Amino acid sequence: MSTDTPASSADSEPLTEAELQARIEELEDKVATLETDTADDTKKMTIVATQGTFDMAYPPLILASTAAAFGWDVVVFHTFWGLDILHEEKSKDLKLSAVGNPSMPMPNALAALPGMDSMATKMMEKRISDNGTATIEELIELSIDQGVELQACQMTIELMEYDEDDFYDDVTVGVGAATALQHMAESDIQLLV
Amino acid sequence: MSAEFDISQTLDVKGASCPMPVVKTKQAIDDLAEGEVLEVLATDSGSMSDLDGWATGTDGVELLEQVEDGDVYKHYVEKTA
């Protein structure tokens, strides 16, 4: 649609009052349409959570629960190891990986020893508790309470041989990549974690 | 330092860290009526920036004042709509 001046203005002949009035009405209609289009300015965010380690479970949940506090429409699509975050039992036993983690104050050869992941996880859990940081379970409940849609990738559920009942209540199952993409396309923010 | 507005409710999130001060504030604000003011007490130093950012980006709330009182960060948020 063109927003150029009307063809009649090709020469310098002034517009009649009726023409001006018509032009004003036309513009008013356009403004009204634009205002309607932008009235639903609720921001949308889609996060794809692919990791199931203790440390990587936090960022999507913190961002999702905070975004919900802004009143945004938030979907977190959990796929592959990210599914463990929604798994009621596994979510309480997520491990920090000591190997290949440059932030760990130990060489990989040491980090690979049996029990090191558990030790690193326990240390981190203590820090989290001392710091007043919420647990994964609390963040999941908080997110759900605030209307965040936590989606569990159906393909991964089957791949991992999980049961739909294994997940927290109100987790959305039976969704796939197309559902995630649809929300991503409508989103202002899309993140892959 | 005392605030010059009537406080309807106080939310104590001392000891809690990100994202709790913001998320709990949002939940407390939901329970208030228009025009009421919520006092938020936090020890998370990030709450100064975070609550400001949240209030700026959220419709129907206004951050009236933020005060640092010893170890406690005090925030005053009005529900405006």
| pLDDT tens-digit profile, chain A (193 residues) | 555 555 544 556 788 899 999 999 999 999 988 877 666 678 999 999 999 999 999 999 999 999 999 999 999 999 999 999 999 999 988 988 878 777 777 788 888 888 888 888 888 889 888 888 899 999 999 999 999 999 999 999 999 999 999 999 999 998 988 889 989 999 999 999 9
Indicate if the pLDDT at residue B12 is higher than 80: yes
Residue A62 in 3-state DSSP? helix
- Indicate the DSSP class of residue A82: G
CB A95 within 8 A of CB A87: no
> Between chains, do B17 and A66 touch, taking CB under 8 Å as contact?
no
Question: In chain A, what is the straight-line distance between the N-terminal and C-terminal CA atoms, in Å?
Answer: 40
Cα–Cα distance measured from residue B21 to residue B78, given in angstroms and rounded to the nearest whole number: 16
Contacts of A91 (CB under 8 A, 6+ apart): A57, A84, A85, A136, A137, A140, A168
Measure CB to CB from residue A132 to each of B17, B58, B59 and give the nearest one: B17
Cα–Cα distance measured from residue A154 to residue A158, given in angstroms and rounded to the nearest whole number: 6
Rounded to whole angstroms, the maximal C-alpha distance in chain B is 32
The residue-averaged pLDDT of B25-34 equals 96
- Indicate which residues of B carry an active-site annotation: 18
Contacts of A10 (CB under 8 A, 6+ apart): none
pTM: 0.78
The residue-averaged pLDDT of B6-12 equals 95
Identify the pLDDT of residue A9.
47
**Amino acid letter, A10:** A
Residue A129 φ/ψ, nearest 5 degrees: -65, -45
CB A70 within 8 A of CB B58: yes
Nearest chain A residue (CA) to B61: A70
Nearest chain B residue (CA) to A129: B16
Mutant choice from B11, B12, B14, B26 vs A, greatest count of A C-beta within 10 A? B26
Cα–Cα distance measured from residue A186 to residue A179, given in angstroms and rounded to the nearest whole number: 11
Walk across the sheet containing B37-42 and list its strands.
B9-13, B37-42, B72-79, B61-69
Indicate if the pLDDT at residue B9 is higher than 70: yes
Measure CB to CB from residue A70 to each of B17, B18, B57 and give the nearest one: B57
Beta bridge partners of A16: none
